[in-house]
Amino acid sequence: MHARPSIVLLSTGVLAACGLTGCGRVDQSEKPNGSRPPATLQISAAITNRSVNISPSEIGGGPVRVVITNQSSKSVKATLAPAAAGGFRTTRDRIPPGGVAAIQATLTRGSWRLQVGQGIDSGRLKVGRERDSSDGELLLP
């Protein structure tokens, strides 16, 4: 039996095309806009009359959303800042007792604190190396 020339040519063409494109894989360095940033990580902070508790207290760097609940008896103003003096700060309007608020920021490696005022110990957050890109995650905007 002899193979038909059109089938051989078609098979060769498919194999060549697959070899050139990597069968659907795209080289990350060829992406026109580069890789996506890490997915936003949501963490929790609870303010009591004595302190601020953050969970988890250690994360990787990248975008975060800190959901803050005020379980204290007074209205507080929350500020997220590096533990070292100076640098980036994000402040949230006053949060009433029983209220909930959120702060969104992109955190870099180092120690961070969530401050809420006098008489209440700041919450501490340790940020490590940047989290991996969200390129492989589904259902992200």
- pLDDT for 70-114, tens place per residue? 999 999 999 999 988 776 788 888 999 999 999 999 999 999 999
Q: Which letter does DSSP use for residue 29 in this model?
A: G
Would you state the pLDDT for residue 32? 74
Average pLDDT of the chain is 83
User: Averaged over 14-18, what is the pLDDT?
Assistant: 56
Alpha-carbon gap, residue 112 to 108, rounded angstroms:
9
User: Averaged over 29-50, what is the pLDDT?
Assistant: 87
Would you state the pLDDT for residue 103? 94
Give the distance, in angstroms, between the CA of residue 54 and the centroid of all CA atoms in the same chain: 16
Q: Which domains does the chain have, with CATH numbers?
A: 41-130 (2.60.40.420)
Would you state the pLDDT for residue 1? 55
**Bond into 63 cis (ω within 30):** no
**Does the pLDDT of residue 2 top 60, yes or no?**
no
More confident residue, 116 or 93: 116
Alpha-carbon gap, residue 73 to 109, rounded angstroms:
33
Phi first, then psi, for residue 30 (nearest 5°) are -95, 0
**Does the pLDDT of residue 136 top 90, yes or no?**
no
Cβ 56 vs Cβ 112: under 8 Å: no
More confident residue, 15 or 135: 135
